[in-house]
Amino acid sequence: MFTPSLLKDRVALVTGGGTGIGLAIAKRLGELGASVAFGSRNAEHLEQGSADLRHAGLDPLAVQVDVRNPEQVDEMVQRVIRHFGRVDILVNNAAGNFISRAEALSPNGWDAVIGIVLNGSFYCSRAVGRHMIERGAGGSIVSILANYVWTGSPGTIHSAAAKAGVMSMTQTLAVEWAKHKIRVNAVAPGPIESPGAARQLWNSPDAVARITQMVPLKRWGQPSEVADAVAFLVSEHAGFITGEILTIDGGAWLGRGTFGFVE
Query: Which positions touch ligand NAP (CB under 6 A)?
Result: 15-16, 18-22, 39-42, 45, 65-68, 93-96, 116, 144, 146, 189, 191-192, 194, 196-197
- DSSP-based three-state secondary structure for 66: coil
Considering the rule CB under 6 A, would residue 112 count as an interface residue with ligand HXC?
Answer: yes
Beta bridge partners of 185: 142
- How would you label 232-249 residue by residue, b for 16+ Cβ within 10 Å and e otherwise? bbbbeebeeebbbbbbbb
Decide which of ligand HXC, ligand NAP, none touches 127; Cβ closer than 5 to 8 Å per partner kind.
Answer: none
Q: Residue from 48, 69, 171, 200 that binds ligand HXC (CB under 6 A)?
A: 200
Q: What gap in Å lies between CA 141 and CA 211, rounded to an integer?
A: 30
Question: With contacts defined by CB under 6 A, how many residues of the chain interact with ligand HXC?
Answer: 17
Catalytic residue among 148, 202, 220, 232: 148
| Residues whose CB falls within 8 Å of the CB of residue 59, separated by 6 or more in sequence, listed in order | 35
For residue 21, the partner it binds in ligand NAP, ligand HXC, none, with Cβ less than 5 to 8 A by kind, is ligand NAP
CB of 16 to ligand HXC, least distance (A): 8
* Interacting partner of 53 out of ligand HXC, ligand NAP, none (Cβ under 5 to 8 A depending on kind): none
- Closer to ligand NAP by Cβ: residue 21 or 61: 21
Stretch that binds ligand HXC, among 69-77, 177-185, 191-199, 218-226 (CB under 6 A): 191-199
Asked if 153 and 162 count as a contact pair (C-beta separation under 8 A), the reply is no
CB–CB of 62/75 below 8 Å? no
Q: Are strands 89-92 and 35-40 parallel, antiparallel or unpaired?
A: unpaired
- Check if the beta carbon of residue 58 is closer than 8 Å to that of residue 34: no
Q: Please report the beta strands in 145-256, taking only residues with DSSP state E, as ranges in sequence order.
A: 182-189, 245-248
Does residue 148 carry a catalytic annotation? Answer: yes
Catalytic residues: 148
Binding residues (CB under 6 A) for ligand HXC: these are: 95-98, 100, 106, 108-109, 112-113, 146, 159, 190-191, 196-197, 200
